[in-house]
Structure 1
């Protein structure tokens, strides 16, 4: 695709695609009674691989030459994390925390930095990248605080049985909550009017006046 030709795909399409996969991950975690490491890694693997492919495709379909590095880097980070967590025999609580924390800190920092650079250029999507990057870093920090070996048994009288709250359950729940927040924010960002379009409209009205 020529860099001077009109692009059929815009940043909003990237945001909406990311929102879709994040929403699917959030729904799978929320409506699953099993918050084990195996389930958490399975959902994360699908989410990360799908998001990585979206990033890599957007590098050519959305961004012009010279601005593709952030998308390629984020795509690679997501794909590597997704593939590392996609092997069922290796799925464990330790692997879940190790992979998700590493991915969150690395990809969050990359997206935050790319957003800061984009803001200096005046790009309209800079604010979204900065916020999502910060939220992703926050996920990594939150998971660092959770102890994977934590275990608390509690009894619910209405259910008439004992339950166990583990560090893995908390960690998987945190990822599900992160995915839900990202899905809502990116969906709103993708469906909102583009600031650039608004600026063009204002400029055209000024010229006519």
Structure 2
């Protein structure tokens, strides 16, 4: 007779809610800031990915069993690398914002999407749908930023408010803020949703008889 594995103190729900919290903070900082410069964008981005990376690294041992840790560990490594690059003050330029955020978004998106597809093919259901969605959102963010011209500038005026300039970096930082807001909403919904029990493999008749 085998002893059932002990329940973990932390599970996928805690990881989803932690990631949702960091994404919500990033979205709020960008939304409520009038400065959508590369400096502000990279400051928020670096904090977001470093916090997310730390959460993923811890979850590899606190949440995921052996054999399922490759994706969170790889995502954590990619997030740490992007966060460290973005945290260097003298590198916080428009070109760096586009380069590091596009690279991180596409690479992490592909990793998360492929990991979710592999889990689904292995018969696992927990977090698969959300992993696929977050992976696709990351790839879409990278693709949209690739289509956003860095040197774009549009002068416009609002009666009674003055003249303004809409630039490529303003659009890009806003797009990252929008991405973070969507991720926060979906992961929060996933974290608070009722859990479905994973299917238990059938025990061979010989083992059951013994």
Asked whether the two chains share a fold, i.e. TM above 0.5, the reply is yes
Q: What whole-Å deviation, never above 9, does each CA across 1:130-164 have from its counterpart, x for those lacking one?
A: 010000100000000000100000010131x1000
Looking at structure 2, the residues matched to 4 and 140 of structure 1 have their Cα atoms a distance apart, in angstroms, of: 40
Looking at structure 2, the residues matched to 9 and 137 of structure 1 have their Cα atoms a distance apart, in angstroms, of: 28
Q: CA RMSD in A?
A: 1.4
2:108 match: 107
2:158 aligns with one of 156, 159, 162: 156
1:166 match: 167
Does residue 1:188 correspond to 2:192, yes or no? no
Looking at structure 2, the residues matched to 67 and 4 of structure 1 have their Cα atoms a distance apart, in angstroms, of: 16
Q: What whole-Å deviation, never above 9, does each CA across 1:164-195 have from its counterpart, x for those lacking one?
A: 00000000000000000000000000000011
Measure how far apart 1:4 and its partner are. Answer: 3.4
Measure how far apart 1:122 and its partner are. Answer: 2.5
1:69 match: 70
Matches within 5 A, 1:1-209: 4-123=5-124, 124-159=126-161, 161-196=162-197
Q: What whole-Å deviation, never above 9, does each CA across 1:49-78 have from its counterpart, x for those lacking one?
A: 000001000000000000000000000000
Give the number of aligned pairs. 196
Q: Which runs of 5 or more structure 2 residues have no equivalent in the other structure? A: 201-210
Looking at structure 2, the residues matched to 101 and 183 of structure 1 have their Cα atoms a distance apart, in angstroms, of: 19
Measure how far apart 1:9 and its partner are. Answer: 0.5
Secondary structure of 1:195's aligned partner: coil
Tell me the TM-score normalised to structure 1 length: 0.91
Q: Which runs of 5 or more structure 1 residues have no equivalent in the other structure? A: 201-209
Give the structure with the higher percent helix.
1
Measure how far apart 1:196 and its partner are. Answer: 1.4
Looking at structure 2, the residues matched to 125 and 19 of structure 1 have their Cα atoms a distance apart, in angstroms, of: 14
Runs of at least 4 residues of structure 1 off by over 6 A? none
Looking at structure 1, the residues matched to 34 and 157 of structure 2 have their Cα atoms a distance apart, in angstroms, of: 17
Measure how far apart 1:6 and its partner are. Answer: 1.7
Secondary structure of 1:19's aligned partner: helix
Tell me the TM-score normalised to structure 2 length: 0.91
